[in-house]
Structure 1
Amino acid sequence: MSKFSKLGLRRTAAACAAAAVATVGLASMGAGNAAAAPLANGSKVITGIDGERVFTERTGESQYSVARVAYNGGIGRTALLSGTYKSTASEGVGGNLKVQILAGCQLDVGSLGGSLGGGISVLPSVGLDLSGGVSLPLAPGEAAIVDVTDKDFDSGSATIQLQDFEIEFPNCGGYASARTLTKVIASQGYEIGDDSSSVAGEGTLLQSTLYGQPFFVS
């Protein structure tokens, strides 16, 4: 069994995601969408040196910007996000499927406080069905990566479904933008260490990030 540091993987992924939001999440902010909008499907295949294979796909993703009446006179941005995120691995390969949100806000217009909540229910042999939401405390010109949920899987597949998952920018006075990240870490004999800081596996360690279509939150 080979051991791989999760800390190193997180640092590498965070660096890539930070670069992506700088070029897409903030620089491309423009007029917001006022109605429900479908987002592009996406997929990605990664293959190990010994033929290990993981296929990741994002389907049925959409977002709907909703009006929010808040204590600060209505300033704020909220979107409802839905979608299905799935990874399918070749025989003997297991891993972890994770959904994150990469978001940014143009202006900060008040004191910020964030909270993460929501309910999770397990769907039989399918994955996770997640409702609820997340509140993003972002400073002016700042971007953030927020974990939504994740699911370990053995040989086979894992699916996560979001239904009207609320993304709230409570004090965003300018344009807001967000996108999903679908991340997979997998290997043969995948196993999380007792200290939760490393993973073990045989052969190639496969790591992939599938970026969703950026969307504006009006």
Structure 2
Amino acid sequence: MSKFSKLGLRRAAGACAITAVAAIGLASMGSGNAAAAPLANGQKVVTGLDGESIKTSRTAESQFSVARVANNGLGRTALLSGTYAAQGSDGVNGKLSVKILAGCQIDVSGFSATTGGSLTVAPPSLTLSGGISLPIKPGEATIQDVSVTKKFKSGKGAAVQLSNFEIEFPNCGGYASARTIVVATGAKGYDINADDDTVTGEGTLLKSTLYGQPFFVS
């Protein structure tokens, strides 16, 4: 069984790298729940050379496009909800993160992100409300982290739950679309040294990327 140790892999900065801005009105969020469009569930299993594995899944995902108060066609906003999970086989430790892949047809400028709603950590899951505001030039797409990294241990799962998570395209003059990405990385004995970010483990280093169903933001 091979061993590995790699320097320079940085843990996701998560909530530490984002700035606080005001979230949209809670009244709009309440009406959004009733009209949320469901998105397809998904799951994926990756297996290493020595039989170790990581399973990632996406369940109860939905989105709701929110009408902007200005109603000038120069912005798009969606509320995203869902549960995103990862579990390793016996002996496999790792980390789970959720990202948003988004793009806009015409012009988006400015950048900010927020956890302006609520953030509650309660093993084995993490619930995150708030939102992101995306910096996209015409014809471009961007990938943005939406949560802190959640660790999972041998044979046990971890989950991140998004609740009315706001995705804002502040100056989007055309159509906008987005999808989630669930990323799980791990190995037998997987660990990250807090002092120098050294990653250690045995056997195969596994990385699973699970893409969600694309959706349009009107």
TM over 0.5: yes
Give 1:68 deviation, angstroms.
1.1
Aligned residue in 2 for 1:68: 68
CA contact (8 A) 2:42 2:212 kept: yes
Aligned residue in 1 for 2:97: 98
Aligned residue in 2 for 1:23: none
**Cα-to-partner distance string for 1:63-99 (whole Å, 9 max, x where unaligned):** 00001124x9452000000000111111111101010
The within-5 A match list for 1:42-57 is 42-57=42-57
Is residue 206 of structure 1 aligned with residue 206 of structure 2?
Answer: yes
Aligned residue in 2 for 1:120: 119
Once residues 6 and 215 of structure 1 are traced to their aligned partners in structure 2, the CA distance between those partners, rounded to angstroms, is: 35
The verdict on how the C-alpha distance between 1:159 and 1:80 changes in structure 2, with shifts beyond 3 A counting, is same
Once residues 159 and 40 of structure 1 are traced to their aligned partners in structure 2, the CA distance between those partners, rounded to angstroms, is: 18
The verdict on how the C-alpha distance between 1:210 and 1:5 changes in structure 2, with shifts beyond 3 A counting, is farther
- Given candidates 1, 4, 11, the residue that maps to 1:2 is 4
Give 1:194 deviation, angstroms.
3.6
Aligned residue in 2 for 1:17: none
Once residues 135 and 144 of structure 2 are traced to their aligned partners in structure 1, the CA distance between those partners, rounded to angstroms, is: 11
Once residues 196 and 160 of structure 1 are traced to their aligned partners in structure 2, the CA distance between those partners, rounded to angstroms, is: 26
Relative to the length of structure 2, the TM-score reads 0.81
Aligned residue in 1 for 2:32: none
Q: What code does the residue aligned with 1:162 have?
A: L
Once residues 198 and 65 of structure 1 are traced to their aligned partners in structure 2, the CA distance between those partners, rounded to angstroms, is: 42
CA contact (8 A) 1:180 1:213 kept: yes
Aligned residue in 2 for 1:80: 79
Once residues 6 and 157 of structure 1 are traced to their aligned partners in structure 2, the CA distance between those partners, rounded to angstroms, is: 26
Q: How many residue pairs were aligned?
A: 189
**Cα-to-partner distance string for 1:164-183 (whole Å, 9 max, x where unaligned):** 00000000000000000000
Q: What code does the residue aligned with 1:54 have?
A: I
> What SS class does the counterpart of residue 181 from structure 1 fall into?
strand
Aligned residue in 1 for 2:31: none
Q: What code does the residue aligned with 1:37 have?
A: A
State the identity as a percent. 61
The verdict on how the C-alpha distance between 1:5 and 1:212 changes in structure 2, with shifts beyond 3 A counting, is farther
Once residues 202 and 191 of structure 1 are traced to their aligned partners in structure 2, the CA distance between those partners, rounded to angstroms, is: 10
Give 1:5 deviation, angstroms.
5.2
CA contact (8 A) 1:69 1:75 kept: no
Q: What code does the residue aligned with 1:117 have?
A: T
Once residues 65 and 131 of structure 1 are traced to their aligned partners in structure 2, the CA distance between those partners, rounded to angstroms, is: 16
The within-5 A match list for 1:127-166 is 127-149=125-147, 150-155=149-154, 156-166=156-166
Q: What code does the residue aligned with 1:113 have?
A: G
Is residue 167 of structure 1 aligned with residue 164 of structure 2?
Answer: no
Note the aligned Cα RMSD (angstroms). Answer: 2.0
Aligned residue in 2 for 1:18: none
Task: Decide which moves more: 113-122 or 58-67.
Answer: 113-122
CA contact (8 A) 2:133 2:168 kept: yes
**Cα-to-partner distance string for 1:102-155 (whole Å, 9 max, x where unaligned):** 00000116xx221111142112x3211010000002111111000011211221
Once residues 67 and 137 of structure 2 are traced to their aligned partners in structure 1, the CA distance between those partners, rounded to angstroms, is: 21
